[in-house]
Structure 1
Amino acid sequence: MKTIFRAVFYLRSNYVNKEGKTPVMLRIYLNNERLSIGSTGIAVQQSQWDSEKERLKGRTTEVLSTNLELDNIQSGLQTIFKKLEMTDAISLERIKSEYLGKKEEVETMMTLFDKHNKDIAKQVGISVSAATFQKYNVCKRHFMTFLQDKYKRSDIRLSELTYIIIHDFDIYLRTVVGQNPNTATKTMKT
């Protein structure tokens, strides 16, 4: 199926700044979904705005400069879309975070463990006990050792994580680590 992506500019008509200008807002569409990104940081005179072309009317230097900025935003979003279209990770949220520079790459199991465990560490004493935090650290350590023993690797990409690897980790916990079935199941849940 062909993926349809587009960026739409519109005016925030219920707001006018001190200079009498209205902010230009940005919304992106991916197939039948839409997501508002917010203000582009550009403000224009409402009377100069052509809502069909989503650009300013006129040929003055200021108008041409503003239209060029809008073109650059649109082409930047298209570039992000083209880059993500080649992967399976294409979504409106991902495009938005890339555009806003908030991309958080979690591509390997160990980076995911690290991020998760840091988030859990912040919650210790608030909504998570120290014992629960310790369980997550033990699970990470067991998984690192498992990867090293079984696959001679220190990390694995999330895209490489298959049912076979998960099954092998379960067997590893029961045999090499020596966990009883209940403990192994709880470690797997963790």
Structure 2
Amino acid sequence: MKSTFKILFYLKRGAIRANGCALIMGRITVDGVGTQFSTKLEVKPEEWDTKANRATGRSNANKQVNSLLEEIKASLHKVYHEMQRRDNYVTAEKVKNEFLGIAETHETLLALFAKHNADVEKLVGISKTPATLQKYKVTYNHLQSFLKDKYNVTDISLKEINLMFINDFEVYLMTTCKCGANTTAKFMQFFKRIILIARNNGLLVGDPFANYKIRLKKVDRGYLTDEEITKILKKKFVSERLEHVRDIFIFSCFTGLAYIDVKNLTQENIRTSFDGNLWIMTKRQKTDIKVDGKSSVSCPLKPSDSTPLK
């Protein structure tokens, strides 16, 4: 965000030292609010130009003072511009503290998010799915675009994330990104997961999500009647491929398995159980919950079947 930034050097005339010199002070002002600091430099009051903010004369001592003042000014400008790029807002106190080396370590949102996504990518095929990784990546991209659009920054300190930031991101998803209510809620869940990681690792003390509630709208997905399923079963298709698609769909209807779980089934998942019947024995990919389901009477699986379902 745009702000005004000024640096002023002046003498602390009320405390003249024994050598006749006065301490040179610095004043940083951001958006009209200022703070002071000591430059640790000194000069005689009569050798100080108030308008130019520098020492006068050609002595080597005063030349060195002016050179050091220019270095201080350049360093402060560098800190200010870096803080503008990195943080949500900039204050004179923050600039001074970072310049003096007493600023807090800045852990940033997107840096933590990127590390998290890299960890998830390593776990794909072990405990994470490609779909989960993709959702985290899309959430990251939306946050990156939001920071650029709203604050014109490439990242933000975790300590600067508050309820207003969260609400603004939600509005951004629903307006600029044109996401539906439930899609927005899902993105906010992934965002909240990163904040939880930050809190668990001591990078955040409070919880910016404490007064924010993620709302998922109940969706009526509808269902097929017995008559409709029978029509699909009896439908004749023009190609074997469509027949195969129909069979898989009906199989999902009778077993209650999601598409991805049917896709992952192999012949080894069809086993004869204690009652002598064929059972599907597998795990749901999404929840890793064990599934033991007896094969449907309407769609029997014979031991002689040799073609894997995968």
TM-score, structure 2 normalization = 0.36
Change (3 A) 1:88 1:20: same
Instruction: State the Cα distance separating 1:2 from its structure 2 match.
Output: 3.7
Whichever residue aligns with residue 74 of structure 1, its letter is K
Which 5+ residue runs of structure 2 have no aligned equivalent?
A: 110-157, 159-188, 215-310
Residue 29 of structure 2 is matched in structure 1 by: 29
Q: Secondary structure at the match of 1:16?
A: coil
Structure 1 runs (4+) greater than 2 angstroms displaced? 105-109, 150-154, 161-168
Residue 197 of structure 2 is matched in structure 1 by: 155
Change (3 A) 1:151 1:25: closer
Change (3 A) 1:54 1:151: closer
CA contact (8 A) 1:16 1:22 kept: yes
Change (3 A) 1:153 1:51: closer
CA contact (8 A) 2:12 2:25 kept: yes
Instruction: State the Cα distance separating 1:13 from its structure 2 match.
Output: 0.8
1-structure distance, mates of 2:195, 2:13: 56
CA contact (8 A) 1:13 1:22 kept: yes
Q: Taking CA–CA contacts closer than 8 Å with sequence separation of 6 or more, which of the two structures ends up with the larger relative contact order?
A: 1
Change (3 A) 1:107 1:89: farther
Change (3 A) 1:162 1:73: same
Q: Secondary structure at the match of 2:42?
A: strand
Deviations 1:59-82 (A, max 9, x none): 222211110011111111111001
Residue 230 of structure 2 is matched in structure 1 by: none
Q: Secondary structure at the match of 1:155?
A: helix
Name which one, 1 or 2, has greater alpha-carbon Rg. 2
2-structure distance, mates of 1:48, 1:152: 56
Change (3 A) 1:82 1:15: same
Q: Secondary structure at the match of 1:167?
A: coil
CA contact (8 A) 1:108 1:155 kept: no
Deviations 1:16-65 (A, max 9, x none): 1111110001111112111122x210110111100000001122222111
TM-score, structure 1 normalization = 0.57
Change (3 A) 1:74 1:151: closer
Residue 43 of structure 1 is matched in structure 2 by: 42
Instruction: State the Cα distance separating 1:166 from its structure 2 match.
Output: 5.1
RMSD: 3.5
Q: Secondary structure at the match of 1:103?
A: coil
Aligned residues: 130
2-structure distance, mates of 1:152, 1:79: 30
Q: Which structure carries more helix by proportion?
A: 1
